Amino acid sequence: MSISVDIQNDVALITMDDGKANAVNFDLMIALNEALDKAEADAKAIVLTGREGRFSGGFDLGMMSGFTREDSVRLLDRASELVLRLYGGPMPVVGACNGHAIAMGVFLLMACDTRIGAAGDFKLGANESITGMTLPVFAVELARDRLSPLHQTRAMIQAFIYDPKGAVEAGYLDMLVEPDKVIGQATAIAGQLAKLPGHAYAYQKSAMRKPALDAIRASIGNHPNLRKLA
């Protein structure tokens, strides 16, 4: 997994690029947390993006093929902690979705404060009801907070996969731009957010999202409804 960090004008551009689907596994989460460490130390806002055409395809199914229940618990705990860091962390985070975002990929996108998407033939959504997996607590809480109530059943229970225009309507994205403008637009917004007083931004973010953040924290190490992820 290759994750790069480029800091300019108080904005840290974190790019995920494994040359394939940017599958979420333990290595990616370790590398992403290290990138966030650097961003939090040296910048005032973050842009999180993927490779061309692909934000993230979700959990690494190849890695999970031999998982025990204990392995699945450990993966969900690390994913929950990463969501907490993005969704509840003090810094502004702008998601630059330059392609597909599926399952855990779309949840990472939803954990960003502002989400810019690429117009085009891309798919975004949660497919857990199709693959037979149960939604983790962080997915349920993000959906309650971020998706339009009119789309929550269709998106989370019925596993509808949206195109970018539909993803804006549903609440997965905040706006669309042409693919070659995604990074520029996200960086410009992050630059504006970086100028806000950091202590106030951090407090408002934590206070507004407290019910969801508390529920996600309480779920770590506690997954009574979990079946093996693969």
Q: What is the CATH number of the domain that holds 99?
A: 3.90.226.10
Strands (E), 19-130: 45-49, 53-56, 93-97, 99-102, 114-118, 124-125
Residue 223 CA to residue 208 CA, distance in Å, equals: 25
Whether 163 is in a domain gets the answer yes
Domain carrying residue 169: 2-219
Whether 14 is in a domain gets the answer yes
Say what the pLDDT of residue 60 is.
85
Ranges under pLDDT 50 in the chain: 230
Whether 225 is in a domain gets the answer no
**Number of domains making up the chain:** 1
The two three-digit tokens of residue 126, written as one number = 């949660």
Nearest-10 crossing angle of helices 210-219, 137-146: 170
Q: Measured on CA atoms in the order 95, 96, 102, 104, is the torsion positive or negative?
A: negative
Whether 224 is in a domain gets the answer no
CA nearest neighbour of 125 among 86, 144, 152 = 152
| Sheet architecture: strand order including 175-177 | 2-8, 11-17, 45-49, 93-97, 114-118, 175-177
CA nearest neighbour of 139 among 127, 122, 150 = 127
CA nearest neighbour of 97 among 120, 125, 77, 116 = 116
Say what the pLDDT of residue 230 is.
47
H or E element that contains 92: none
Asked whether 16 and 1 are in contact (CB, 8 A), the reply is yes
DSSP 120: S
Q: pTM of the entire structure?
A: 0.95
Whether 197 is in a domain gets the answer yes
Whether 199 is in a domain gets the answer yes
Say what the pLDDT of residue 70 is.
85
Say what the pLDDT of residue 57 is.
94
pLDDT in tens, 9-46: 999 999 999 999 999 999 999 999 999 999 999 999 99
